[in-house]
Amino acid sequence: MAYHDDLLAHALQLVHADPPSQLTLRRAVSAAYYAVFHYLIAEATSNWSNTPLRAALARAYDHGVMKSASNRILNPKDFPYTGENAAIVSKLRFVAQAFSQLQDDRHFADYNLTKDLDRVEALTQVKSAEKIFNDWPVIRTEQIAQAYLVSLLVKRL
């Protein structure tokens, strides 16, 4: 099992811990974000033909650049995707939106102790990551999905 798969499985295990604690719920949200983060990087670097250097390339990805790229994809003025399959565009936009939201959720879970997380909230966030894992294989070979992967590495595409 790949690292990102392990992280998602761990997030699901944590969010279903009984009884739930702030520690397990917060770690579940964090693990869900990192599962998606590493999944998208693995998908992008799998396009690199020099297999031994994929791990080095993966280290070049930056959380902030990835979030900015994801937020840009959501803007229909910048990316109208005219002529593209609407279902594919919808899935890509979900991936981008959910990645950006999960990053915000992870920051809250890891750093903001002013409000408790409840299980439903954490489960929703983990399920969002799980949906990315289910949706991405459907769109991964599409040109717009591949362009999204490139945009996650470069500051502006």
pLDDT above 80 for 155:
no
Q: Rounded distance, CA 13 to CA 35, Å?
A: 13
Q: Which of residues 51 and 156 earns the better pLDDT score?
A: 51
- Across residues 81-110, what is the average pLDDT? 97
Mean pLDDT (whole number) for 104-118: 96
The three-class DSSP label of residue 26 is helix
pTM: 0.95
Cα atoms in the Cβ-side hemisphere of radius 13 Å centred on 6? 3
Tell me: pLDDT of 20 over 70: yes
Angle between helices 86-111 and 119-139 (to 10 degrees): 140
Domains of the chain: 3-151 (1.20.120)
